[in-house]
Structure 1
Amino acid sequence: MIFFDNDFLGPGQSNIQSMIPLLRDSRVNLIGVGVVTGDAWMTEETQHLLRFLEIAGRPEVPVHKGASMPLLRTQAEMANWEARYGRIPFKGAWNAPRPGRTYHPNEPDLVPPMPEGTPRIKAQANGAVDALIAAVRAHPGKVTIVSAGPLTNIALALRVAPDIAQLAKEIVIEPGKLDTAFARTTSNTDYSTDFNFLFDPEAAHIVLTAPWKSITLVGNVSSKVKATPEVVDSIASAGSPVAKYVKTYARLGQPFWDEVTVAVAIDRSLVTDDLVVRMDVDTMPGMHYGEPQVWTEEMAPKAGERPVHIVRAIDEERFLAGFVAQARK
C-alpha cells in the first residue's frame, strides 16, 4: 500500500517514468499520488502526470495537488546564496529559460503547450497533505510513503498531523546524495547535485527527524543505472502506449533516480548492500545549507536524528529486467 509523492517534470523522464512500476506491479496498491513543486512548478507537473495516467490506461489513480513553494527557501534567497558560494547548476522550477526546455521561473501557474496532449481527467479536490494524512490514518501500520522529490508535502503533513510518522509503515526517499563535491567537477554536474534537499532543506530536516518506524534513503545508488539507448529501444519494441511514450520522451543517459527508488520501496530484496547511520540536513546559513550530514550512532549530536538505512547497492540487472518488462506492458 503506497502513497507516492513526487515532482513530475514532464513529459517523460525519471519523474513520470517512476509511475510505471507503481501502475504495473501487481503487488502495489497505489492509494494516492501527491504532486510537489521541484523540478518544475506543481501546476504544470500535475498536468503531465494526469496525461500520462490517461496514456497508461489508469485514469482512476487519485492525484492530489501539493505545495507550490518550499517552506522557507525562495528564488531570491537561492540567487543570493549562489552569489556567495557558487552556482547551483539545476534549480528546478527556478531554472532560467533556455532553448529546448520549458522553464518559466516567474510564472508558477503557467502550463506550456504539452507535446503529449492535454489531459481530460482532473486532480482530486483535496490536496496532497490532507490526502496523505487521511490515507495513513485510515490504514495504520500499512502505508509506505515514497518520496522522490522535495519533501515539502511530507513535512507539511507532519506539522499538521505528527502522528502519521508512527502510523505509517515506513518512508522511502530518494534525496540524500552524499559526498558529491568531487563528482560535481569530474562528471555530470547536474546529476551530482542533491537538488531535492537543496530546494527545501527545512522540509528535509523535519522529515528526517520525525519518529518514523523505518526510514530508507535511496541516494547515490539511484544514479548508477541509466536510460541507455539499448534499454529505451528494448522498451519501445513492445509498441504499447507506455512503450511509445518512453521511446518519445525518455532522456537518454539520465539516471533512473526515481524508478530505482520506487522499485526498492516495492521489493526490498533488490538491495544488496545498505548502511544504517544517523542523518540530518544542514539548515544553518552558509555554504553547506541543504547538504545531508551523517554520523555513526556514537558520534551523532543526538538532536533528533533518526536511524536511516542508506541503500548502497542494488541488483541492477534484476531492476532493469523488471522495469523494462513493466514499461513494455
Structure 2
Amino acid sequence: MPSSPVTSSSRPVILDGDPGHDDAVNILLACSSPELDVLGVTTTYGNVGLERTTHNALVVRELIGGDFPVYPGADRPLVVPRLSAEAVHGESGLDGPHLPTPTRGAEALHAAQFIIDTVRARPGEVTLLPTGPLTNLALALRLAPDIATLIREVVWMGGSLEAGNWSPSAEFNALCDPHAAQIVFETAAETGLKLTMFGLNVTHQAIADSRRVAAFRALGTPVGEFTAVLLEFFAEHHRERYGWDGGALHDPMTAAYLLAPELFEVRPLLVDIDISAGPSAGRTIGDVWRVTGRPPNVDAALKVDADGFFALLTERIGRYR
C-alpha cells in the first residue's frame, strides 16, 4: 500500500471507469495520494465488456492491497450499440503484465445506486472521476435528479475539441454513449453541476514515451514494473496509428487535476454533444468563439505541463512498496 495514508482532510472521490490500461493507472494514482479518499470504484462497459472491466478493477485492487469497494454498473449504452476497444487494450483489457488473481469480489449494489447513495449521504463533498462512457452517471442523474446539486464536481476524461480517435469526429468515451454524455452536459447547463472535461486535445499532449516508461521501471518496485509493462503494451497501438513513441496517458489526468491543478490550463466553454446517427455522431462541439451566445457548461482543459504530470505520476506510483 502507499506510504501516505488518507487523512481527515482528504477529498472524497468515486472513480468511474472501464479499466483499461490508463484507467488502471488512474486508480494507482488516486489510491497513492492522501489528498484523495477513494470511496469506491464503479465500472462500466467500454474498453472491454463489463465483466472484464470489473475484473480488472479487482485486479488493480489486489495488486496494491487496496480496500476500496468495486460496484459494477452499466453493461451497454442507453441507445446505441456497444463499442469495445480490444484492439487498443487487448482481450483482457489489461494485456501486457501478469495479472494477480483477485481474492475478493465486487459488490452487489449497482454502480448508479452507489453513486446516488454516496452523494446523498455526503452532500457537496463527493467528486466523481468518470474515465469511460458516462452511462453510470447519466443513469444516476435520471434516477435521482436531486444529486446534480449535491455533487461537488465531475471531472471527465472524454471528448475532444479537435479530431476524434474512434471516428474522424468523436473520441471513444463520448462515442460509446453520446446520449449519456448529452444528459450529463445538459444537466450541467441546467443545474450548475460543476463539470470539467479532459479531451484528446489535451491528453494527446502527454505521451508515455520510452524515457517516461523507464522512470516507472527504475522505481524498482512491483507496481512500478507493472506500470512499465502495462504502458509498453499500451504503446503498441499508438505507435502503429500515430507514429508516437508511447501511448497517450488520458485517464490519470482526472486525478492529477485534483492533486495539481496548476499543471493544467482550463477555460469555461459551452460544449454540446452530437447525438445524430451521421458521421459526426458523438462529437463534442465546443463553442470556442462563443457564437451561440449561450453560457459555458464545462471547464475544458486546453494544455498540460506534461513533464510535471509525469513527475507527479512517477512520484506517486513510487509510494507503493
Asked if Structure 1 and Structure 2 have the same fold, meaning a TM-score greater than 0.5 normalized by the shorter chain, the answer is yes
Using structure 2 for the length normalisation, give the TM-score.
Answer: 0.83
Q: Which runs of 5+ in 1 are unaligned?
A: 76-90, 105-110
Q: 2:275 aligns with which of 260, 283, 291?
A: 283
Counterparts of 2:312 and 2:88, CA distance in 1:
35
Counterparts of 2:88 and 2:193, CA distance in 1:
45
Counterparts of residues 41-56 of structure 1 (less than 5 Å): 41-56=49-64
Q: Match for residue 83 of structure 1? A: none
Q: Match for residue 321 of structure 1? A: 311
Whether 1:209 and 2:182 are equivalent positions in the alignment is no
Amino acid at match of 2:80: R
Q: Match for residue 62 of structure 1? A: 69
The secondary structure found in structure 1 opposite 2:272 is strand
Structure 1 residues 169 and 99, CA, compared in 2 at 3 Å: closer, same or farther? closer
Counterparts of 2:318 and 2:258, CA distance in 1:
21
- Could you report, residue by residue, the CA deviation over 1:198-240 in whole angstroms, capped at 9, with x for unpaired residues? 1101000000011243111111101211111211221112222
Q: Match for residue 241 of structure 1? A: 222
- Contact conserved, 2:170 with 2:284, CA < 8 A, in 1? no
The secondary structure found in structure 2 opposite 1:92 is coil
Counterparts of 1:100 and 1:124, CA distance in 2:
25
The count of aligned residue pairs is 292
Counterparts of 2:209 and 2:26, CA distance in 1:
16
Q: Match for residue 116 of structure 2? A: 133
Amino acid at match of 1:248: V
- Contact conserved, 2:159 with 2:170, CA < 8 A, in 1? no
Q: Match for residue 16 of structure 2? A: 5
Q: 1:263 aligns with which of 227, 236, 256?
A: 256
Counterparts of 1:192 and 1:284, CA distance in 2:
12
Counterparts of 2:217 and 2:168, CA distance in 1:
25
Counterparts of 2:169 and 2:247, CA distance in 1:
12
Q: Match for residue 102 of structure 2? A: 119
Q: Which runs of 5+ in 2 are unaligned?
A: 1-11, 236-245
Using structure 1 for the length normalisation, give the TM-score.
Answer: 0.81
Counterparts of 2:273 and 2:55, CA distance in 1:
31
- Contact conserved, 1:4 with 1:34, CA < 8 A, in 2? yes
Counterparts of 2:169 and 2:254, CA distance in 1:
17
The secondary structure found in structure 2 opposite 1:257 is coil
Q: Match for residue 9 of structure 2? A: none
- CA drift of 1:314 comes to 2.1
Q: Match for residue 240 of structure 2? A: none
- CA drift of 1:180 comes to 0.6
Counterparts of 1:156 and 1:258, CA distance in 2:
21
- CA drift of 1:147 comes to 0.8
- Could you report, residue by residue, the CA deviation over 1:180-209 in whole angstroms, capped at 9, with x for unpaired residues? 16xx6xxxx789850111110100000001
Amino acid at match of 1:173: W
Q: What percent identity do the matched residue pairs reach? A: 28
- Contact conserved, 2:157 with 2:251, CA < 8 A, in 1? yes
Structure 1 residues 264 and 99, CA, compared in 2 at 3 Å: closer, same or farther? closer
Q: Match for residue 6 of structure 2? A: none
- CA drift of 1:317 comes to 2.1
Counterparts of 1:262 and 1:177, CA distance in 2:
19
- Contact conserved, 1:146 with 1:265, CA < 8 A, in 2? no
